[in-house]
Amino acid sequence: DFIMASPDKRVDELMDGRYITLHADDDQEVANEAFRMNNRVALPVVSKSNKLLGIVTIDDVLWVANEEFSEDMQKMGGTQALDEPYLEMPLFKLFRKRVGWLVVLFLGEMFTATAMGFFEDEIQKAVVLALFIPLIISSGGNTGSQASTLIIQAMAVGELTIINWWRVMRREIIQGLMLGSVLGIIGFTRVMIWAKILPKVYGTHEFLIGLTVGFSLVGVVLWGTLTGSMLPLILKRLGADPAVSSAPFVATLVDVTGLIIYFSVAYFFLQGILL
């Protein structure tokens, strides 16, 4: 603006009167947000008494933003943040960074096995239900991971905060019902087609089995989207890092509850028939 302005203009006419500073004890994310919101190439850094200490340039902030993005991506993948380049990190140190979350997730998946144990009798009575367990729980995990990634990314760039939780919930309920309906229709259609190809597997109750699969997918996908979208906001409210609610963690949580939803729907449609 200064170079392109008319020589007759005074400096105070070109001056940006907004007083924007960074404090020496501000978090790096605060600096990143200040640059993003104010479109500056440099900002002054001041002490608590507002004495100038130095400046921070956009180059510094971009480097920090890249570091934080890499850290969040690693956490979302279910590992601790790497503090060294991957190829330069000692193998045992890399092992320690990865094994912790894997153990936690493995212990979480044990609850899935426990939940299946509760429904052992039902599986024995209607073995056909077991065929769709991977389909049901993976659909819930996928939608939960998808929702979690979207919300964490939106929070990282400042598009939403905790105060937007109700709007997020409403949107995800609608999204969950829409996505679940699409997958439910596909699942129902799959059962009906395969029942014609393999009639011995489904018997004479393919329609009820199809309804069980279809409505289970709606319920599991709805639960997955709600869990994936709300968990980052809850963790943020508790002062934890939202990236910790990584896709694997959400998927593990939804796996357990997905089984309960699936067999509850099966009871509703098949009680007294196959169960």
Residue 98 has pLDDT above 90, yes or no: no
pLDDT above 90 covers a percentage of the chain that reads 27
Contact 32, 66 (CB under 8 A): no
Distance CA 61, CA 56 (A): 8
Vertex 260 angle, CA 256 and 264, to 5°: 170
Domains of the chain: 11-76 (3.10.580.10), 105-270 (1.10.357.20)
Per-residue pLDDT tens digits for 1-25: 666 777 777 777 777 767 788 888 8
Distance CA 126, CA 173 (A): 31
Do the bridges between strand 22-23 and strand 42-46 make them parallel or antiparallel, or are there none, so unpaired?
Answer: parallel
pTM given for the model: 0.75
Amino acid at 203: G
Contact 254, 227 (CB under 8 A): yes
Q: What is the pLDDT of residue 62?
A: 78
Torsion sign over Cα 172, 174, 178, 184: positive
- Average pLDDT over the chain, rounded to an integer: 84
Q: Band the pLDDT of 176: cuts 50, 70, 90.
A: very high
Contact 130, 212 (CB under 8 A): no
Residue 197 structure tokens: 């190809």
Torsion sign over Cα 169, 171, 174, 178: negative
Q: In 3D, which of 230, 232, 231, 221 has the Cα closest to residue 257? A: 221
Residue 149 has pLDDT above 70, yes or no: yes
